[in-house]
Amino acid sequence: MNNDSFIRKESMPRTEEANQQIREERYQQILMAALKIFAHKGLTDTRIADIAAATGMSQGLIYRYFASKEEVFATLVGGVLQLTLDMARQEAALPGGALEKMRWLTTQLLPYQYEQPEGVLLLIHAMVNEAVPSNIRQASIEYSAEIQGVIQGIIAQGQAEGVFRQDSPVRLTVLYLATFQGLATARGFIAQTPESLPDVEALLQFLRP
C-alpha cells in the first residue's frame, strides 16, 4: 500500500455503526464511573466534574449524554433495580421447587455484593436519603416492593413444600434482602479473604427448617 492510499483510507469518515458503538461505549463508561462515585459520595456531594475526571472526558461531553447528574443517578438506580427485578421474575418462572429457585437467585445476586457492592450502596442511598428527588425515591420504593413480592411468593412456596421454615414470608424476605445489603456495606470496612465470605448455602441456611 502506498502512502497516498493509506492517507485516503485513514481520512475516510467513520460509519454510523462505528459512531453508534463509540457513543454506547462512552455512555457505559460514564455510568460505571458515576456508579462508584455516587455510591461513596452520594448524590448531593457528587458533581459532573467528578464524573468527567473519572472518565477522562470533558464536562461538555458528559452533558451530551446526560442533562444533569440527577439524570445519571436516576439511570443508574433504574438499571440496578430493573436487573434485580428481572432476576426475581426469572426465578419465579423457573421449573422445580422453591429451594432450587432461591439457590439460583442467590447465585446470581451474591457476586455483585462482593465484586460490585456499589450497586447496593446506590440503592440504599436512593431510598433513604431525603436529598434524592422524590420521584427517584418513589420509583425505587415501588421497584423494591415488587421485588419483595416475588421473593415472598417463592418463600411461601417453599414453606408449602416443607423446605423453608414456618415464619412470616414478609419477615424472611426482609432478612434475605437485608443480608445482601449487609454484605455489600461490609466490603468497605471489614478485612475479608475470599474463603471467609458467606457462600450461597450459608446465606440460605436461615430459610431452612
**pLDDT tens per residue across all 209 residues of the chain:** 445 544 444 555 668 788 788 889 999 999 999 999 999 999 999 999 999 999 999 999 999 999 999 999 999 999 999 999 999 999 999 999 999 999 999 999 998 888 888 999 999 999 888 889 999 999 999 999 999 999 999 999 999 999 999 999 999 999 999 998 888 888 766 666 666 778 999 999 999 99
| Count of C-beta atoms within a 10 Å radius of residue 96 | 9
Residue 13 carries which DSSP code? P
d(CA 95, CA 133) in angstroms, rounded, equals 40
The sign of the torsion formed by the CA atoms of 126, 129, 133, 134 equals positive
Q: Cell numbers 436461615 correspond to what residue? A: 206
> How many helices (H) and strands (E) would you count in the chain?
10, 0
